[in-house]
Structure 1
Amino acid sequence: MRVFYDQLDREIKIPNPPKRIISLVPSQTELLVDLGLEDVLIGVTKFCVHPKDLRQRKNTVGGTKQVHVDKIRKLAPEIILCNKEENTLEMVAELENIAPVHVSDVKSVDDSLELIREYGEIFGVREKASEIAGQIMDLREDFCEFIDKKPKQRVAYFIWKNPWMVVGKDTFIDHLLELNKFENVYRLEKSRYPEIYLDQLTTKNADRVFLSTEPYPFKEEDKSMFKKAVREDCIHIVDGEYFSWYGSRLIAAFDYFKKLHGTLSYSSSE
């Protein structure tokens, strides 16, 4: 047994290395596959959609908020991977009766890099983890040069409808917005994901409204509800996976952000 500390500074004792992994976090599932660990990944959630056909080859053990505990127990995992935001404390406590539970807490790119390297140590794939982390660092540096002279823009980032919910402070999405020089107009709210009244959006003086494709799948027809707050050409459907998934997804995210900025420049009068 080896001793590690997860991103909540919780001590976990695990085999060297674990050969039966259950992942309850979609972005971490994708990372495991990219680290070359698909063969030892025995269970995933119904939301683990990347790679696209992965769920056909693996046991599905529920969602991120509710899982089939008995099914997980029968799979006899050696480690279960969770996340502070995606999974509940009650779930973690219950699963610890089955196997060691590693809980991530990712609010920035640096947190993601730390997690990637830690997985490299835990699962014996240090070289591949270092390669992925290095690639992300290089891409981030290149993107920072790209974004350096772009003007700041005030953005409201919507994640849910009925009730209307936006992204607030202390979140990975907020961090990526800031990296893109998008000033989050709801960053000063007390809640991390505030519920708002749509008719109050005009008081925030947002330059743009972003409607995320997840967790609520906003569509083009939803744009019409925001026309009183900003110009129609300043309402955008954005890919929620690139703004909220960490791990190896970041490799593609920076290219997506560049293309997004190109679209914004084209459609605006700035």
Structure 2
Amino acid sequence: MDDTGAVVKIPGTVRRIVSLVPSLTESVAATVPEALVGATDWCSHPAGLDVARVRGTKNPDLDAIIQLRPDVVLANAEENRPPDIEALRQAGIPVWVTRIETLEQAFASLDRMFAYACRTGRPGWLDAAEEAWRAPGQGPRRTAIVPIWRRPWMVVGRDTFTGDVLRRLGVDNLYAGHTERYPKIPLAELVERRPELVVLPDEPYAFTETDGPEAFPGLDCALVSGRLLTWYGPSLVDAPALLRRALG
């Protein structure tokens, strides 16, 4: 069963994999690159990835995926739409769906994905990632907000991988108790909360030094790599050290 409890019939040998999640694409490319035959247009790592592109995570080209004859398609419960997953399954293609909201879930999910969906051994980088996060190090605890979009402003809310990553680094998300996972919050309210830190990732909205910090005068802002903050894969090995440096 995949992370959602769905029974997925995977062949004994997996030679052709299509990934519909950028972080899973990077994970497979770092582990069994010869098996990766398709990925989304948003799969930017590793650089120079030469596989068939099947549009985006929310609008995959289902016909193109079917024509690639994958032994398995890798998806994610948050990033990919249930109708697309079901359509591929109806076409006779096994779809393995991950569900990841914490680091511990990421480690366990990736271990199972490689063992059962990819039919390969546990990658060395996964061991290194677990070791890197065993004691990631942190200074005094700080409160933060994590905008992910503007016009309208949206922030990281409850039960997110991003929130768990920051918590382990000593940064507590002020909206972790919100009823929504990615709530829309008026800018005035965000400023009035007076967080000790405003964390501005470069994805999905590409915040920069000139686009984002100016909205939070008098507040400390940290520009960080969205890949380090939200991707679960080989980037987890270096993420603790690089994020600590970026968060200041």
Settle same-fold status: TM greater than 0.5: yes
Separation (CA, whole Å) in 2 of partners of 1:178 and 1:10 = 30
1:168-187 superposed matches below 5 A: 168-187=157-176
1:203 deviates by 2.9
> Are 2:163 and 2:173, in contact at CA under 8 Å, matched by a contact in 1?
yes
**TM-score calculated relative to the size of structure 2:** 0.95
Separation (CA, whole Å) in 2 of partners of 1:132 and 1:254 = 14
1:44 deviates by 0.3
1:202 deviates by 3.0
- Point out where structure 1 has 5 or more consecutive residues left out of the alignment: 265-270
> Are 2:169 and 2:244, in contact at CA under 8 Å, matched by a contact in 1?
no
- One of 48, 54, 57 as aligned partner of 1:53: 48
1:29 aligns with 2:25: yes
1:250 deviates by 0.5
1:90-129 superposed matches below 5 A: 90-98=83-91, 99-122=93-116, 123-126=118-121, 128-129=122-123
Amino acid in structure 1 at the alignment position of 2:131: D
- One of 1, 8, 11 as aligned partner of 1:12: 8
More helix by share: 1
Separation (CA, whole Å) in 1 of partners of 2:59 and 2:190 = 33
Aligned to 1:212: 201
1:224 aligns with 2:214: yes
> Are 2:191 and 2:216, in contact at CA under 8 Å, matched by a contact in 1?
no
**TM-score calculated relative to the size of structure 1:** 0.87
> Are 1:26 and 1:47, in contact at CA under 8 Å, matched by a contact in 2?
yes
Amino acid in structure 2 at the alignment position of 1:58: V
Identical positions, percent: 30
Separation (CA, whole Å) in 2 of partners of 1:96 and 1:58 = 22
> Are 1:108 and 1:176, in contact at CA under 8 Å, matched by a contact in 2?
yes
1:191 deviates by 0.7
1:39 aligns with 2:34: yes
1:255 aligns with 2:228: no
Runs of 4+ in 1 over 3 A off after TM superposition: none
> Are 1:210 and 1:235, in contact at CA under 8 Å, matched by a contact in 2?
yes
Partner SS for 1:118: helix
1:225 deviates by 1.4
Aligned to 2:229: 243
1:124 deviates by 3.1
Amino acid in structure 2 at the alignment position of 1:242: L
Q: Describe the shift of the 1:252–1:116 C-alpha distance in structure 2 as closer, same or farther (beyond 3 A).
A: same
> Which stretch of structure 1 is more off in the superposition, 59-68 or 113-122?
113-122
1:231-264 Cα deviation digits (max 9, x unpaired): 3xx1121111111001222012112123224xx2
Separation (CA, whole Å) in 2 of partners of 1:12 and 1:255 = 37
Amino acid in structure 1 at the alignment position of 2:25: T
1:76-91 superposed matches below 5 A: 76-91=69-84
- One of 58, 62, 76 as aligned partner of 1:65: 58
Q: CA RMSD in A?
A: 1.3
> Are 1:155 and 1:206, in contact at CA under 8 Å, matched by a contact in 2?
yes
Amino acid in structure 2 at the alignment position of 1:91: D
Separation (CA, whole Å) in 2 of partners of 1:93 and 1:120 = 22
Count of paired positions: 245
1:59 deviates by 0.4
Aligned to 1:268: none
Aligned to 1:267: none
| Higher gyration radius (CA) | 1
Amino acid in structure 2 at the alignment position of 1:214: E
